[in-house]
Structures are given as C-alpha cells and as structure tokens.
Structure 1
Amino acid sequence: LGALAKVEGLRVVARTSSFSFKGQNADVTEIARKLNVRNILEGSLRREGNLIRVTAQLINARDGFHIWSDTFERELQGVFAVQDEITLAIVDALKIKLAVAPPARTRQNTEAYDLYLKGLYFSNKSDEQSLRKSLTLFRRALDIDPNFARAWTGIAKDWEWLADAYVRPLEAYPAMRAAAEKAIQLDEKEAEAHCYLGDSMEVLNFDVAGCQAELRRALQLDPNCAIAHLFLAFEGADGGDSEAALAHVRRAVQLDPLSPIVSDFASSVYLTCNRLDDALAEAQRTESLAPNFVYETSPLGRAYREKGMLAESLAIFTKSSAATGVLQPGLAITYAKMGRNDDALRVLEQITDFAKTHYVAGDEIASIYVALGDNDAAFYWLDRAYQERSGSLRGITSQPDFRSLYSDPRFANLVKRIGFDPAKVFAAAKRFNPKN
C-alpha cells in the first residue's frame, strides 16, 4: 500500500482503514462503499518454511469482475520483490486511465519488517500501554536493521501520541523530533516523518512557518498522506483559515475513513470551525468505529456542550472519565455551564491534585478556570502550559472554551508568543460569533 500510495494520480486508502476488513467475510461492493473507492486489491499469503505463496487480485467493485490477478511463489527473502511486482502489475493494469509512473524498489529485512508491521498496528491505538508496546516493537525492528527509515518514523509517531496525553511534552517532543530527523536522514522521501518533524518545530520552537513547510513537503512526497492533511487542518483552524482547515480535514477523512484517530481529530476541527452539526456527526461516527476510543478528551461531549445539550455532554464526559480512570476537564466545564459551580470546583480540585504527580496540560486546567470566570487563574495555567511546551496550547486560538478571553490583552500577547497572528484569530472568531 505504501508504494501504491506514492503513485502519481492514484488515491489509495490508508492502511488503518483498508486493513480494518482483514479476516472479515465482507462483500467487495460494501467494502468499496465504506472506503469510497472504485477498485479493491485482495490478497493472501501462505508461508511454508522458507517459501511464500502470494495470491493477489484487483477487482472492479462496481461489477465484481477481476481487472488483474496473479500468484507469486518466492523464497521468504524475496517478499519485497513480490510487493514491487504487484505494484507494477496494478500500475500496468490501470495506466491507461492514470498515466502513472511505477515507484522505486526498496530492500528490507523481513524480520525487521514483520516487527514494524506489528508496531504499526499498536501505534493506531489510543491507550498508553499499546503505544509503548508499539515503541518497543519499532525499536526491536531497528535492532535488526538500524537503517530502516519507516521504523524511525514509527517511533516518531508513537511519541506524537504519547506526548501531552501520557508524557510531558519536553520529554516526548524532543524524542519525536530526533526520530523524525533520523528517518529523513535515511530517506528524505519518508513523508510522514516530515509531519512529525514539523509538529516538533511548532511545539518546541513556535516555528509555525517551518511546521507548515514540512507538512507541505510531506504532501509533495505523498499526496495520500492522511496525517499531513489532518495536521494542516489544525494549522488552518489554529491560524484562522477555516476554509483550508475544512478542505484538509475532509481530505484526511476521505483518505482514512475508518481510522478512529482521524475521525476523532476531524470532529475537533469541525468544532473549532463552528461546524457543530458536522462535529457532532463525526464524533458519533468515531464512537461507532471504536466504542472505547478516548484520547485526551471527548469531541462528542464538547460538541453536545457547544450545541447547548448539556445533559448529553455531562453523560459523555462522565462515561469517558470512568473509562480512562482520569477526570476530564470537560466534565468540570460542563458543570460550570450548567451553573453547578460546586461540582465544577470539586472536579477541578481533583484534577489539580492529580497534576501534582502526573502531567496535565496547563491549558486544560486553564479552560476550567475560564468557564468559572477566573481569568487570572486561567492565565497562570496558560503561562505554565507555555513554559512546559504543551502541544495542545495551540488550540487556544480556535477552541470555543477560550473565546471569552479575546478581549484581554494578555491573550493576544500569548497568541503572538506561540507563533500565530492575533488579528487573523480574532477575525475568524468574529465570523463564527459577531458578538465576540
């Protein structure tokens, strides 16, 4: 899939979504509908000792007819050559319509690649245990093949999702940057590594322009890179360009439609762009994709709250807090919006006590104080988030929770310090709510 995704003119759905059908006896037409694709590539691999047998077929999902099929028998070390042969065969089968060029061949160690694929599986989970298991698998792959660029990218990816949610940013983001830089050093065309490098530049150095340049480079290398589109969606939202944000987030969902991570973050982008119905629908879709998926906060609870559906919001935040074992700031904010300040203060106290022994982003605590009307305390925690390089601090420019601070000069100063233009941020907010 990685090789096919880099073929010019060919849209390939990301591995997270396409492999969600593995082991299922699903109808080809139904799979194509859910993935929004025209053709389906099916395959099977059988291994006996040092021999492998790969069967692959390309199917037109509209009529069920085979466009191409073949069987390959090779020694185990020849598995990567088979990948290239399948890629070239598919390109040849479709080239009349696409006029595409075949990708370059690569050589890898099969044992390292197997560990990489296992690491990739766990890297798409939202809990700390899975992400750390993924990190271990990628490191084991690199013990075998230190020059395996994709494994270095995988390590960068794990640190991206461990950061803020489970690990202090000043520990996680430097590790992410180092892994991304190593991946790019080994293979400059490793598109996803450019995404993580760019994100580290923005978080650690407030280099917004540098981050966006890396994301654009990622899309030059791989137009089908869903994570690049997702990150650019947040860049647009945080920078006051909602049109760009919406265009990129829709493309990210199109490229990886069954990924809970992409769906979860897409809901957040819709929320920041004041597309509340879209945010709610996408958050509900996330829950249908992965009922137990919780990462940092619940976009579904936030969407309900912004729509004034406070009872529903409270139920969601209560459920997600119970699922993670950690009280979510959204629970306190919802209590405050309901006028239940005593309950909000109780949750706030528990969260600040938890923050004495665990990392909690300062901007998350600040959002509770904003809801309670204590702006001085909010700015204390925002400054702490700035000092700690909270990755979610960028969200203050677009999250509805902070819009009541816009009239305070301290807010414009902070927006400027983290690399964004206050005028653009405020102009975008006025389009959403002229009273701001």
Structure 2
Amino acid sequence: MSNDIENEYFSDGITEEIINALTKINGLKVIARTSSFALKGKNIDVREIGKQLGVVTILEGSVRKSVNKVRITAQLIDTVDGTHFWSKNFDSQLNDIFELQDEVSLLIANEIRNNFGYFEIQEHLVKNSTTNVDAYELFLKGRSLQLQWTPESLKKAITYYDNAISKDINYAKAYYANLQCYGLLVTWGYMPQEEGMEKAITNFLKAKALDTQLPEYPLSFVGRSFWGEWDFKSAYHYINEVLAINPNHIDGLEAMAELFLAHGFFKEALVYADKLLEVDPLSANNHYTYANIHYYKRDFETALHHISRAINLRPDFDLAYHKKALCLISLNRKEELTNTFKNNPLWEKIHLLFDCVNSGRNELPQDVLASFTDKPLERNQITLFELFILANTRYTALAFDILRSYIDQKRGQILNYKFEPLLKPLQTNKEFFTLNVSNLSYDDITLPVSGKETSKVILNEQEQSQLKEELLSYFDHDKPFLDPQLSLNTVAEALHTSPNKLSYLINEVMGMNFNEFVNKKRLTHFKSIALLPENENITLLGLAYDSGFNSKSVFNNFFKKNEKTTPSSWLKANKR
C-alpha cells in the first residue's frame, strides 16, 4: 500500500519471506507462493478462497513502505464463517526488516497454534540473509523479475542480483539466485553453454563458501547431476537433501516427481505430484507436472484435464499447449485439435503429426524431410514435433539416429523417451532401451511414510500431571483469562515452562487447543456473573467483555457451540 506502485516488489518479497518462514514449521500446512499470489488483489469471498486452496484459515495483510519506515498489517481469518481470529499492526525501521519478519511470522504461528492444535515452533523463523537493506531491496527486485520465467526477465534479474552483490559481497542468496538464472538460460538454449556454465560455477563457488545450510545449496547440485549429467543416483541424493531442509520445497518436490517419471516409477512420481498440488494447487506448472505423469502412463484423459487446468491458470504456457496437442493426437480427436490449434504457429507440424499417427501417412516431402534433419542442431526446441513425425513414418531409422544424438547431448526434452507414446514405433529397435542406462534402480529409493506423523512425547506422565495441576490452579486462582490479550506465551512464562511444552499439554494431553481452553474458562465465568442480581443492567456483551472475550462474534459462536442455544435464551431459561 504505497503511492509508488513500483514498491509492489517489496510487499511481494515480504510475503514470500513470511510464507517461507511458516513453511519451516513441521505439521503446519502452508500454501506456496504461486497459489497465494494467484489470489492477490482479487475480491474473492474467503469461503471460496478456502475451497480453492484447501485451507481453513487465511492470512491476509498489507505492507506500507515509506522512505526508511515500514508497516506490516496482518490478520487471520476463518474461511468457514469469516471470523477474524487475530489482527495486528507492526511498525519498524527498514534496517530492522528481518527482525520484523521474524516477529510477524512467530506471532502468526503462535496464533494458529492457539486456535488449531499442537506443533513445535522454533525460537526464530527468519534468518538475516544480509545486513545491507539496499542489497536486500535489489535482491527482491531481481526475485520479482526471475519469477516471470522468461529469458529477458532472467537476464534483468541477474543485473539486479549483481548489484545486490556489489552492496554486500557476502550475500549468499544472491549468488545462488544468479546460479539458477544462468542454469536456466543455458538449459533453454538462450545463452552459450560454455559462457553460461562458467558464470554459474563462479556464482556457485562463492555461494558455497558463504552458506551451505540453505536449500539452494543441494538444489544447485540437482540441476547439474539431473539435467546436466543424467547422474540420477546423485540427483536423488541431492533432492533428498533439499527436502530434508524443507519437506515442502516446490523445486525439490517437482525434481523428485520428474526423476521418478524419467524411470517409469509412476506411482512414486504421483506421491510427489500430489504433494505439489496440495501445497501449491493454483500453480500451472504443478498441474503440468501432474498431467505429464498421466500422459506417460497413457492416461490421456486425466492428462488432458490437468493440462487444460494449467492453461486456464497460465494462458501463455506454451509447453502446456504442446502437451495438449499431443494428448489430442493420442486420443485421435481431430476436430478438437483443429479448433484449438489451427491458428497456432506450429499448426502445420501438429496437423502433420496427427496424420502420421492416425491417418496412416507414411511419406514426407523432401523439403520437409531436409528441414527436419537440421533440427537436432537446435537446442532451444520446446517440443520435438519433428522427431515424433519421423518416428511415425517410414523414416524410423532417421528418427532413431536423431534420438541417439539427443540422448548423447543429454537434452532435457528427451529425458522420458523410454515412455513416450509417440516414440513407440522406435521400440522395435533392440538398442532403444539401452541408449541410456540409469544408475538409479527402484531398490535405491525410499518413499516418505504416509499418514499423520505421531507427535513426539515432550512431557512424561509425571511432568504432564504436574504441569496440568499448575495450569488449572493458576487459572482458578489468578483468572488470567479475564485478560482479552492473553496468549500461550504469557501463560507459559507465568508457569515457568516453554510454550511448546504448554501447547503439547493442552492439545495432546487435554484434547483441546489453547483458545478453546481459555474460552471455556471465560464462558464459565460469564455464566456465573450473568446470573448475579447486581449485573441485571449490564448487557450480555458487556458481561462477555468482562469475562475476557474481545469479540462479539467469537463470544456468540463459542456460546452457541457449547450451550446449543443463544446467550439470551440461556439467560431467560436459567433465571426462571
């Protein structure tokens, strides 16, 4: 919220930092950046947002930046009935931005725990990545450009990251970000490989010397081992390291899904694809990944459904359009294919491939054939239509030679060649399945244990009994629930215990969340004072506030839930 619309990058950066901070808490489901940002600035009912994202609580807020000051507002909203659980304003100097992000994240996490259930919260959730605010702002500008994922935006992002590094030569995240940008530009064919790899390695070595605790560190090895060298066993090891640091890391989950897909471990790939859609359901890329697995399983209908979803989410997603064309060709749907792609620049190739696959076309004009043989020299093709056409005509020998050259080049576009439906005619060649032999076997992999993790016991039975007795005694004698701002941390401090232990006791042992425990005490107090003759002239809401409730809606909803009637009806019935 600023007069300078260019400051939006700053708000987006703060939001992403808070998302990443909350993601560090085991047991807390946090929707990822892409899906959260898909709803930014849109006037959508909270119930619909909850339905789209599969969540029961929304964190809504704003950032206001002015010169060297920043204000963050945040509020937690129930997606079922729109109740505001909590809201707060935070003001700070810009040079304290990391401390502010940590404070906001911790308070949000505590409020979620107060309302829903037990999970451990670390002492700090946000780590200072730089001490230079100018460098941080330059990094956020670069990040906003990088996330546009175009060759032009990646090159501009590198400029901002370089400028950030010039302000702070120890800015590890900026070096890692440069590494990713250079790697993508080389992979996509928009930068000479030797030049791009040299710059990528330079940034990696500097980043490695500064910080190897970030998930970007093992992730940098994933790009090289998986896509660069096809060393799948090493890639599996590094992806696991990424997910050990952050089990919901989008790039890590996607890489594991793609790694399993490349080996035909479809069931295992879907475990990670499902997780991708759980934490980032409005990501076009995640729906593409899910569709891709079903395409190679030859479940073209399911693939088509998710591809269409990906295109709806991102209408400029060329790769998704190409996959849709391949699905429609595989399903022999000529009319739908024509209506969808007749104005596409690749229509001639798409139409030709359809005829070769479904209409028995076996010959190609010499000029077309000649143009196809030049394609293996180009590295920036998105979809290999020429190879698929050749494979489905009488030119299978030529197609096989081109396929071999692609594999020798270790081109990402052909990684899943063994399961590509449109290369089935080439499988009669006895060398097809041995063109590349992976060093990763099914016996090497281990899937995460499904189901809810059992909470570890942090209080033995004797400690549980003692702390419970102290808690109940404290509430009976001191009545801290009369304070409308009472928090778990305040109670823990009064009882000389840790918030994690107290939360464990209330949630796991006593079977309720902190706010439920406190509001039960408030409700009991309300019922006792509401029947006193001296309080006849005080409104029910006034008595609710006197009992520690700080919201009319919270009081009414909690009363009805527990007493199965309204406060006024209860009062009439009990005064008789």
Q: Answer yes or no: same fold by TM over 0.5.
A: yes
Alignment of 1:64-213 (within 5 A): 64-95=82-113, 97-102=117-122, 103-107=124-128, 108=130, 109-167=132-190, 170-171=193-194, 179=203, 182-213=206-237
Q: Tell me if structure 2 keeps the 8 A contact 1:184–1:190.
A: no
Any idea what SS the aligned residue of 1:295 has? helix
Q: 2:35 aligns with which of 7, 10, 17?
A: 17
The worse-fitting range, judged by mean Cα deviation, of 113-122 and 204-213 is 113-122
| CA displacement at 1:303 relative to structure 2 | 1.6
> 1: distance between equivalents of 2:138 and 2:247?
26
Q: 1:366 aligns with which of 381, 384, 387?
A: 387
- Residue 413 of structure 2: aligned partner: 392
| CA displacement at 1:74 relative to structure 2 | 0.9
- Residue 426 of structure 1: aligned partner: none
Alignment of 1:229-240 (within 5 A): 229-240=253-264
- Residue 432 of structure 1: aligned partner: none
Any idea what SS the aligned residue of 1:71 has? strand
> 1: distance between equivalents of 2:58 and 2:184?
30
Distance change (3 Å), C-alpha of 1:66 and 1:123: same
- Residue 49 of structure 1: aligned partner: 67
- Residue 353 of structure 2: aligned partner: 333
RMSD value, Cα: 3.2
> 1: distance between equivalents of 2:151 and 2:368?
23
Residues 1:40 and 2:64 aligned together: no
> 2: distance between equivalents of 1:379 and 1:28?
54
| CA displacement at 1:280 relative to structure 2 | 0.6
TM-score relative to the length of structure 2: 0.65
Residues 1:273 and 2:297 aligned together: yes
Distance change (3 Å), C-alpha of 1:295 and 1:362: closer
| CA displacement at 1:206 relative to structure 2 | 2.3
Over residues 188-235 of structure 1, what are the superposed CA-to-partner deviations in whole Å (9 max), with x where a residue is unaligned?
332255334213212332210110111111111111112222221111
- Residue 403 of structure 2: aligned partner: 382
Residues 1:224 and 2:244 aligned together: no
Any idea what SS the aligned residue of 2:62 has? strand
| CA displacement at 1:370 relative to structure 2 | 1.0
**Which stretches in structure 1 are left out of the alignment for 5+ residues?**
423-436
Q: 1:246 aligns with which of 270, 278, 290?
A: 270
- Residue 8 of structure 1: aligned partner: 26
> 2: distance between equivalents of 1:385 and 1:286?
28
Larger Rg over CA atoms: 2
Any idea what SS the aligned residue of 2:319 has? coil
Quick one: which amino acid aligns to residue 131 of structure 1?
Answer: L
- Residue 429 of structure 1: aligned partner: none
Any idea what SS the aligned residue of 1:17 has? helix
Any idea what SS the aligned residue of 2:82 has? coil
Any idea what SS the aligned residue of 1:21 has? coil
TM-score relative to the length of structure 1: 0.84
Distance change (3 Å), C-alpha of 1:192 and 1:368: farther
Quick one: which amino acid aligns to residue 70 of structure 1?
Answer: K
> 2: distance between equivalents of 1:233 and 1:306?
23
> 1: distance between equivalents of 2:192 and 2:413?
10
Quick one: which amino acid aligns to residue 89 of structure 2?
Answer: T
> 1: distance between equivalents of 2:204 and 2:336?
40
**Which stretches in structure 2 are left out of the alignment for 5+ residues?**
1-18, 443-576
> 2: distance between equivalents of 1:80 and 1:131?
26
The worse-fitting range, judged by mean Cα deviation, of 261-270 and 37-46 is 261-270
The worse-fitting range, judged by mean Cα deviation, of 120-129 and 221-230 is 120-129
Q: Tell me if structure 1 keeps the 8 A contact 2:363–2:393.
A: no
Quick one: which amino acid aligns to residue 44 of structure 1?
Answer: S
Distance change (3 Å), C-alpha of 1:74 and 1:344: farther
Q: Tell me if structure 1 keeps the 8 A contact 2:180–2:220.
A: yes
> 2: distance between equivalents of 1:366 and 1:169?
24
Q: Tell me if structure 1 keeps the 8 A contact 2:61–2:75.
A: yes
| CA displacement at 1:386 relative to structure 2 | 2.8
Distance change (3 Å), C-alpha of 1:132 and 1:419: farther
Distance change (3 Å), C-alpha of 1:92 and 1:347: farther
> 2: distance between equivalents of 1:344 and 1:291?
34
> 2: distance between equivalents of 1:160 and 1:43?
34
Over residues 300-332 of structure 1, what are the superposed CA-to-partner deviations in whole Å (9 max), with x where a residue is unaligned?
11221222213433554554436xxxx796554
- Residue 5 of structure 2: aligned partner: none
Q: Tell me if structure 2 keeps the 8 A contact 1:310–1:338.
A: no
Distance change (3 Å), C-alpha of 1:106 and 1:294: same
Distance change (3 Å), C-alpha of 1:296 and 1:57: closer
> 2: distance between equivalents of 1:393 and 1:23?
39
Residues 1:60 and 2:78 aligned together: yes
> 1: distance between equivalents of 2:155 and 2:84?
41
Distance change (3 Å), C-alpha of 1:118 and 1:366: same
| CA displacement at 1:289 relative to structure 2 | 0.8
> 1: distance between equivalents of 2:320 and 2:143?
21
Any idea what SS the aligned residue of 1:372 has? coil
Distance change (3 Å), C-alpha of 1:49 and 1:328: farther
Q: Tell me if structure 1 keeps the 8 A contact 2:362–2:392.
A: no
- Residue 409 of structure 1: aligned partner: 430
> 2: distance between equivalents of 1:321 and 1:232?
33
> 2: distance between equivalents of 1:355 and 1:413?
20
> 2: distance between equivalents of 1:287 and 1:134?
25
Quick one: which amino acid aligns to residue 124 of structure 1?
Answer: L
The total of aligned residue pairs comes to 419
Distance change (3 Å), C-alpha of 1:66 and 1:231: same
Distance change (3 Å), C-alpha of 1:44 and 1:359: closer
The worse-fitting range, judged by mean Cα deviation, of 33-42 and 303-312 is 303-312
> 1: distance between equivalents of 2:233 and 2:184?
22
Distance change (3 Å), C-alpha of 1:379 and 1:183: farther
